[in-house]
A and B are shown apart, each in its own frame.
Chain A
């Protein structure tokens, strides 16, 4: 009996279900409806951009999905599993990852320590009293990730001494640790130079096909190049969903988004 259940659970986890499914999610802060009745379904491997002006509820949506706080109503399923009330670390161990808009890093530790911690967080022996051995698998995957984001020259630099762009790269590396199945990127390109943006786009488009993500991005050039579908949010609600071309051509979207906030990165 229990074995049958386990098999069906495993089947769900292997991709017959949506990667992420939000049903009727809302989040209220006092009288403010930060999120109102959000329904979102994202297939495994799908790459979605979320657009919207400041205060549209994009980051609140991320916080509900990763469990930084619980939604007021509604349910969240991750590869078929109801994670609505799971603590954050349990969601992460199931393959969910995120980056933060304002870098949340361990400023007193080195670059490699930061990446190593995030790799260790989704593997075993988190409480180990023993230092990583020379051929420690977690440490070598941390070193590999450090190379992916080109931070190998800063391996022992304290995070508090990194440049802004390097901190953003470190955020990405930490989100890629372990075996991610779905990643939430919160404005990864904010404040990056044009060259760094190109590098970011290369990293995102170069991710293995089974890893889906949602990216919050104000820069339409970045957003539309790395996403297969777009969700527009406005005042805590979903305003429009569609293919990138459709959204770009949509008059309502242009009026609301591009007109509303003068010249937001569309050029």
Chain B
């Protein structure tokens, strides 16, 4: 019996969970928690707030692509749907459309609609594989973009909704830089941990099995289609929270929020960071936000036109994909392997 227990415990169960958390995570957590002590409002709200939000939306893609092998370009649209629904059911400056319901009603409805939307997208997309999944989800993302731009009755067309603000729960102004920083940090951490946890639960393992071999999954009793669709539904919760926070951050949502550019940016973020581990999307988002924020200054300082910042992002993307198909995470792992190699045997550790 004791040996069976030993077989089950993947992490060393003899030590409690605090001791089993890797040191880099502890350091990172402490730095992130005390960040407001020394960081400026701009860094907290614009750099980190945005990083956590984009990281969450990219995390929903990492969950689909990294575990279930389905690259969906519709994750930004799902986030946008949640943002729109919060504006429509909650309060905004467009008072003739917004229903003005309280946040504790509007937010669950918004998330539920985002889940239904994602489930419908998934239900159509899971019948396809590889490049065709990308195509069909891109088609649906485009459809969502053009629909929101042309529909004035519900989505208020081109201008969308402004004045969408977070509720004053506990008397806190959640759009204040420190409060917003902790709000986004909380949700990003929560989803990071949930995805990490679910990856070892039957649902997450089944998705990884489907990624490796869908035919065999059916041959050991799994309904592969149902699992794939459920993965889309689950990813909508992550993307939906990200979309609501994104709407609050800019206090507005419009068709451009989920336009083709942002849709593809989410893919770039996830790929740059790495699809193998849920930390990847956040690394990718951090780099993306830094580039997007400071590329103009860098370009101007070397005498180039500032509006060429997309060029820098594109070159960065190319460099990462060229040198490491696994994204920055892959580079890090290779560095670790290199560092741990046995210098005497000079074999790189891998072949031993």
Residues of chain A within 8 A of B197, CB atoms compared: 129, 131
B4 within 8 A of A: yes
Nearest-Cβ distance from residue B150 to partner chain A, whole angstroms: 38
User: In the complex the two chains form, is A87's CB within 8 Å of B218's CB?
Assistant: yes
Quick one: which of A92, A100, A112 contacts B221, CB cutoff 8 A? A92
Residues 1-20 (chain B) with a chain A CB within 8 angstroms: 4-5, 7-10, 13
User: In the complex the two chains form, is B219's CB within 8 Å of A92's CB?
Assistant: yes
Q: Mark A116-141, 1 if CB is under 8 A from B, else 0.
A: 11101110011111111010100110
- Stretch from A102-110, A191-199, A220-228, A252-260 forming part of the interface with B: A102-110
Residues 162-192 (chain A) with a chain B CB within 8 angstroms: 174, 177-178
Residues 174-212 (chain B) with a chain A CB within 8 angstroms: 197-198, 200-203, 205-206, 208-209, 211-212
Q: How many residues in B have their beta carbons less than 8 Å from beta carbons of A?
A: 32
A183 to B169, CA, bound (A): 60
User: In the complex the two chains form, is A127's CB within 8 Å of B227's CB?
Assistant: yes
User: In the complex the two chains form, is B201's CB within 8 Å of A128's CB?
Assistant: yes
A46 within 8 A of B: no
B222 within 8 A of A: yes
Q: Mark B1-41, 1 if CB is under 8 A from A, else 0.
A: 00011011110010000000000000000000000000000
Residues of chain B within 8 A of A235, CB atoms compared: none
A23 to B207, CA, bound (A): 36
Looking at A87, A121, A156, which has the most chain B CB atoms within 10 Å of its CB? A121
A122 to B218, CA, bound (A): 11
User: In the complex the two chains form, is A104's CB within 8 Å of B219's CB?
Assistant: yes
A106 to B212, CA, bound (A): 5
Looking at A88, A92, A146, which has the most chain B CB atoms within 10 Å of its CB? A88
Residues of chain A within 8 A of B224, CB atoms compared: 89
B223 within 8 A of A: yes
Quick one: which of B4, B202, B227 contacts A132, CB cutoff 8 A? B202
Nearest-Cβ distance from residue B130 to partner chain A, whole angstroms: 17
Residues of chain B within 8 A of A237, CB atoms compared: none
Q: How many residues in A have their beta carbons less than 8 Å from beta carbons of B?
A: 45
User: In the complex the two chains form, is B201's CB within 8 Å of A126's CB?
Assistant: no
B217 within 8 A of A: yes
Looking at A112, A131, A178, which has the most chain B CB atoms within 10 Å of its CB? A131
Quick one: which of A106, A128, A136 contacts B208, CB cutoff 8 A? A106
User: In the complex the two chains form, is B205's CB within 8 Å of A129's CB?
Assistant: no
User: In the complex the two chains form, is A127's CB within 8 Å of B220's CB?
Assistant: no
Nearest-Cβ distance from residue A143 to partner chain B, whole angstroms: 4
Closest to A121 in B: B221
Q: A126-B222, A143-B7, A152-B7 are in contact. Are A104 and B202 (CB under 8 A)?
A: no
Nearest-Cβ distance from residue B230 to partner chain A, whole angstroms: 6
Nearest-Cβ distance from residue B3 to partner chain A, whole angstroms: 9
B215 within 8 A of A: yes
A251 within 8 A of B: no
Residues of chain A within 8 A of B168, CB atoms compared: none
User: In the complex the two chains form, is B220's CB within 8 Å of A140's CB?
Assistant: no
A53 within 8 A of B: no
Known contacts A87-B218, A114-B209, A174-B220; can you find 10 more A-B pairs with CB under 8 A? A105-B212, A106-B213, A113-B205, A117-B205, A118-B221, A121-B206, A126-B203, A132-B8, A143-B7, A156-B10
Q: Which 8 A-B pairs have the closest CB atoms?
A: A121-B221, A92-B221, A121-B220, A106-B212, A88-B218, A118-B220, A104-B216, A128-B202
A sample of 26 cross-chain residue pairs with beta-carbon separation below 8 angstroms, ordered by A number, consists of A88-B218, A89-B218, A92-B218, A92-B219, A93-B221, A104-B219, A105-B212, A105-B213, A106-B212, A107-B212, A107-B213, A109-B212, A114-B209, A117-B202, A117-B220, A118-B221, A120-B202, A120-B206, A121-B222, A126-B223, A128-B203, A131-B200, A132-B8, A132-B202, A134-B9, A143-B8
**What residues make up the interface of A, taking CB atoms closer than 8 Å to B?**
66-68, 87-89, 92-93, 98, 100, 104-109, 112-114, 116-118, 120-122, 125-132, 134, 136, 139-140, 143, 146, 152, 155-156, 174, 177-178
**What residues make up the interface of B, taking CB atoms closer than 8 Å to A?**
4-5, 7-10, 13, 197-198, 200-203, 205-206, 208-209, 211-213, 215-224, 227, 230
